[in-house]
Structure formats: C-alpha cells, structure tokens
Structure 1
Amino acid sequence: MNKLFRSTADAKVTGLCGGIAEWLGVNATLIRLLVVLAALSSFGTVIILYFVGSMLIPKMPYSHF
C-alpha cells in the first residue's frame, strides 16, 4: 500500500494535490481542478482543509539514485 506524501517534484503551492494525484494514480491537473471547484462551491472551507492537510501530511523524502 502506498503512503500519502506531499509531492516535491509536482508542487505548485504546497505539493498536496501532486501528492494526492500520485497516491491515486491520476493526473495532478484533475485533482487541482477539483480542489478549485470545491473551494469555490464550499465558500472557502476547502481552502482551510487544504492548508490543514498540508501541515499534517509529510513531504516526500528525497530518494538518492
């Protein structure tokens, strides 16, 4: 089972959407669009949850090749 991390390679703001996209195996743009649409329809509640999730979910550890 994959562990959820914030992405270091596919980060626009905090890397949370990129990490969720890697975890689910979907395109990060789709997750970002869903977050924006949810934020607009929830009167900002999703924005608060996004930053709380960014504080709780750890950053992906760097792997040495």
Structure 2
Amino acid sequence: MKKLTRSRNDRMVAGVIGGLGEYFNVDANLIRVLWVIITVFTGFIPGIVAYLLLWLILPQE
C-alpha cells in the first residue's frame, strides 16, 4: 500500500509536490506547473495555504 509522503529526493521547497508526483506516478514538474497555474487563477492565497497545510500534514518520506 502506497503512502502519501513528502519527497526527500524530488523537492524544491518542502517536497510536497515531489511526493504527490511519486504517489500518483506523474512527473512532479507537470504537477508544479499545474499548481502554479491554479494558484495564479485562484488569487494566490488558496494555493499557498493548501501547500502550507500539506507541508504540515504530510510526513517526511
């Protein structure tokens, strides 16, 4: 069973997006681009808050 964790290897800030990429078996750079686009179109705050919450909630790999 796979667990969603923050990545130690594929990280830019906290490893949240890298962990999502590993969990869903998708290139983390694609998720990063989508995350930035969604964050820009929702007014920055929701995307930033979601990232910070995932940083706090997800355990380190």
Moved over 4 A (4+): none
**How do 1:25-64 residues align onto structure 2 when only pairs under 5 Å count?**
25-44=25-44, 45-60=46-61
Flag structure 2 segments of 5+ consecutive residues without an equivalent: none
Q: C-alpha distance in 1, partners of 2:58/2:42?
A: 22
Letter in 1 for 2:20: I
> What is the Cα deviation at residue 42 of structure 1?
0.7
Q: Distance in 2 between matches of 1:16 and 1:58?
A: 10
Match of 1:8 in 2: 8
What is the TM-score when the length of structure 1 is the normalising length?
A: 0.88
| Structure with more helix by fraction | 2
CA RMSD, Structure 1 to Structure 2 (Å): 0.6
How far apart, in 1, do the equivalents of 2:60 and 2:13 lie? 13
3-state DSSP class of the match of 1:11?
Answer: coil
**Identity of matched residues, %:** 35
Q: Which has the larger radius of gyration?
A: 1
